[in-house]
């Protein structure tokens, strides 16, 4: 069974520009896949389809075996945890606890059960609950904000994590912590990133998107070691491979 299946997904922007032109690929249960491509390739637009924030105009988006439609939308949003590039787009409550607990609270979780969920999620992302539960989210570092936002997703117990540029804006230490964290998470993961060295470390497979189309889908090391192919699609060889 696939955690995610995209079948000839098509989408146009309101001005008529084609953003996605028949995108098809799958992410298996437990698999970690990188989604790479130049700016304007359609990556962010594609990610917004995966929990129904945008709806495909053609083709199908299937998560957990169910096509996203009006009937399945709520279940899809529980199945897929989408981490935005900017954590401030996700953190809006007064404290870390309230941010992490927001999703489960909306599902009716209360009291000790809610607190235990929040604590477990913070521990999973490497933030000590005693130090962070009552902190104000807006006072955290960018790396801490990203981990709190991720904890909020994990508290919902998603089966698929979709991460949009997770290493963007991080200093080297925070980036390393994030990479190590991502490698420990058991969920299926789709990671959209310009950080090709992160893709090499975390993803066994890479999908390359350009001009709204899939132009390659294969083993990460093979694709990202091909300098000529990468340059053709507005990408550079990862630093760890001599870029």
**CATH (domain of 55):** 3.40.50.300
Residue 20 has pLDDT above 90, yes or no: yes
pLDDT one-digit tens code per residue, 102-145 = 999 999 999 999 999 999 999 999 999 999 999 999 899 999 99
The range of the structural domain enclosing residue 201 comes to: 2-92+159-241
The residues, ordered by sequence, that sit 6+ positions from 186 with a Cβ below 8 Å of its Cβ are: 30
Residue 183 included in any domain? yes
Residue 59 included in any domain? yes
Q: What is the DSSP letter of 20?
A: E
- Model confidence at 1, pLDDT cuts 50, 70, 90, reads confident
Q: What is the DSSP letter of 87?
A: G
pLDDT one-digit tens code per residue, 21-54 = 999 999 999 999 999 999 999 999 999 999 999 9
Residue 210 has pLDDT above 70, yes or no: yes
Residue 61 CA to residue 44 CA, distance in Å, equals 15
pLDDT at 185: 95
Q: What is the mean pLDDT of residues 144-151?
A: 96
Residue 192 has pLDDT above 80, yes or no: yes
Q: At what angle do helices 111-124 and 142-154 cross, to 10 degrees?
A: 130
Residue 144 included in any domain? no
Residue 70 included in any domain? yes
Which of 197, 143, 128 lies closest to 173, judged by CA?
143
Which residues sit opposite 205 in a β-bridge?
33, 219
Question: Under a CB-based contact definition with an 8 Å cutoff, are residues 205 and 33 in contact?
Answer: yes
Residue 178 has pLDDT above 80, yes or no: yes
Residue 242 has pLDDT above 90, yes or no: no
Residue 209 included in any domain? yes
Residue 210 CA to residue 218 CA, distance in Å, equals 15
Q: Cα–Cα–Cα angle for 93, 159, 214, nearest 5°? A: 100
Q: Which residues of 137-156 are buried (b: 16+ CB within 10 A; e: fewer)?
A: beebeebbbbbbbbbbbbbb
Residue 140 included in any domain? no
β-bridge pairing 58-63 and 66-67 = antiparallel
Q: What is the mean pLDDT of residues 73-100?
A: 95
Q: What is the three-class DSSP state of 214?
A: strand
Residue 65 included in any domain? yes
Residue 133 included in any domain? no
Give the count of domains, the chain. 1
Q: What is the DSSP letter of 45?
A: H
β-bridge pairing 188-192 and 160-164 = parallel
Q: What is the mean pLDDT of residues 155-173?
A: 96
pTM of the full structure = 0.95
Please give the share of the chain, as a percent, with pLDDT higher than 70: 100
H-only helix segments in 48-168: 73-79, 96-106, 111-124, 129-132, 142-154
């Amino acid at each position: 069974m696939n955690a995610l299946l995209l079948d000839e997904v098509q989408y146009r922007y309101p001005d008529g520009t084609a953003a996605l032109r028949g995108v098809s690929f799958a992410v298996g249960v437990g698999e970690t896949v990188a989604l790479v491509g130049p700016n304007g390739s359609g990556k962010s637009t594609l990610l917004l389809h995966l929990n129904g924030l945008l709806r495909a105009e053609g083709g199908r988006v299937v998560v957990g075996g169910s096509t996203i439609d009006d009937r399945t939308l709520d279940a899809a949003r529980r199945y897929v945890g989408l981490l935005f590039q900017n954590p401030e787009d996700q953190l809006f409550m007064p404290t870390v606890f309230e941010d992490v607990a927001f999703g489960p609270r909306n599902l009716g979780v209360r009291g000790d059960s809610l607190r235990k969920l929040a604590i477990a999620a913070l521990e999973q992302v490497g933030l000590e609950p005693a130090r962070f539960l009552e902190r104000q989210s807006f006072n955290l570092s960018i790396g801490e904000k990203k981990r709190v936002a991720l904890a909020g997703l994990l508290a919902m117990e998603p089966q698929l994590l979709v991460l949009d540029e997770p290493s963007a804006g991080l200093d080297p230490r925070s980036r390393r912590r994030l990479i190590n964290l991502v490698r420990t998470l058991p969920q299926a993961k789709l990671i959209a990133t310009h950080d090709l060295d992160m893709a090499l470390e975390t993803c066994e497979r890479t999908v390359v998107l350009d001009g709204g189309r899939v132009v390659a889908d294969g083993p990460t090391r093979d694709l990202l070691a091909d300098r000529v192919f990468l340059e053709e699609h507005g990408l550079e060889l990862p630093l760890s491979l001599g870029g």
